Amino acid sequence: MRNQNAIMAVVNQDYLGPLKTMWTSLFSSNPYPIDFYLFFEDLTEDDISNLQVFISQWDNKTFIPMVMTSEILEGLPVTKEFPKEIYFKLLGLDILPNDLHQVLCMDLDMIVQKDISEVFQLPISSSGIAACPDIFGHYFGLEDNNLDCLGLDHNRPYFNAGFMLFSLDFIQKIGGGKAIISLAHMHKDKLYYPEQDILNILFHDSYIQLPWEAFNCPPLYYIMNQKEVEKGIHMPLPLKEISAGNIPDGYFDYTNSMFETTSVIHYMGGTKPWKSNREPSPVYDIFDQAYTRTCENKALKNSSFES
């Protein structure tokens, strides 16, 4: 029987280092069998061999390389920040094994600190997708604009595409990844966060909300309402409401606690710790501990790819 603990990601030559860093964190904290499907267009045979050797350091981990072509993507928005490979998240859904019923799609600018196996048990067959609200957009005041640009109601949050569980049976019922790509061509003038925007158009009203604080936590300054946190509600103040050194009554600094409890840190946008031009921030001293710890792992230190 096919292993349903399956994860997919997309990569190009520029992200081989982050891939191996993410793998090191994921496999070190999740000891159960995982099949990892990697979609790419520009990797060489030597790259693939190197990755096969690298992943062999962990038991019960299988690497399945998936070669893609990008002709169907011509005309869709592509930038340095959002290269063509991001659309492989959608196209790749069509070429996964027929007896694979679900797949977790993860970005490579993530560090996994804890076991995430509970995600694979979610009942998503009637929803199509499970994803996390985009707290990064909320924090920087972008969410309302994202929803307005896509013509979506504000009754549910805009979600982030960095950590998503797909029901492959559901995806095939709506025409598969190629149908989603066709929809992207139809709405290409609206798309700023390309694959994320088109998935929000499709699944905004139906997606299962995963807790972002557990599975898609960016390194930010988290000022939380004390009473809400006690009730299990985690909604930080937006940046515009935070004045330097001043915390409103009833709120407290939850940054350290967020780092300690989150399962997945997502170094999205300009927060990537391997970027030399990253703006300094005290929160990086906290969240970069996970990245530094991963880079010190013997499996990664012996690798031929730099992180």
Please write the tens of the pLDDT for every residue from 170-228: 999 999 999 999 999 999 999 999 999 999 999 999 999 999 999 999 999 999 999 99
Percent of the chain with pLDDT over 90: 86
Domains of the chain: 6-214 (3.90.550.10), 217-301 (no CATH)
Q: What is the mean pLDDT of residues 7-18?
A: 96
The mean pLDDT value for 256-264 works out to: 98
pLDDT at 243 over 90: no
What is the pLDDT at residue 303?
73
Q: Which pLDDT band, with edges at 50, 70 and 90, does 138 fall under?
A: very high
DSSP for the chain, please give it. Answer: ---S-EEEEE--GGGHHHHHHHHHHHHHH--S-EEEEEEESS--HHHHHHHHHHHTTSTTEEEEEEE---GGGTTS---SSS-GGGGHHHHGGGTS-TT--EEEEE-SSEEE-S--GGGGG---TTTSEEEEE-HHHHHTT-HHHHHHHHT--TTS--EEEEEEEEEHHHHHHTTHHHHHHHHHHHTGGG-SSHHHHHHHHHHTTTPEEP-HHHH-B-S---EEEHHHHHTT---PPPGGG-BTTB--TTEEE-HHHHHHH-SEEE--GGG-TT-TTPPP-HHHHHHHHHHHHHHTSHHHHT-SS--
According to the model, what pLDDT value does residue 307 have? 44
Confidence of residue 79 (pLDDT cuts 50, 70, 90): confident
Q: What is the pLDDT at residue 297?
A: 93
pLDDT of residue 305: 55
pLDDT averaged over every residue in the chain: 94
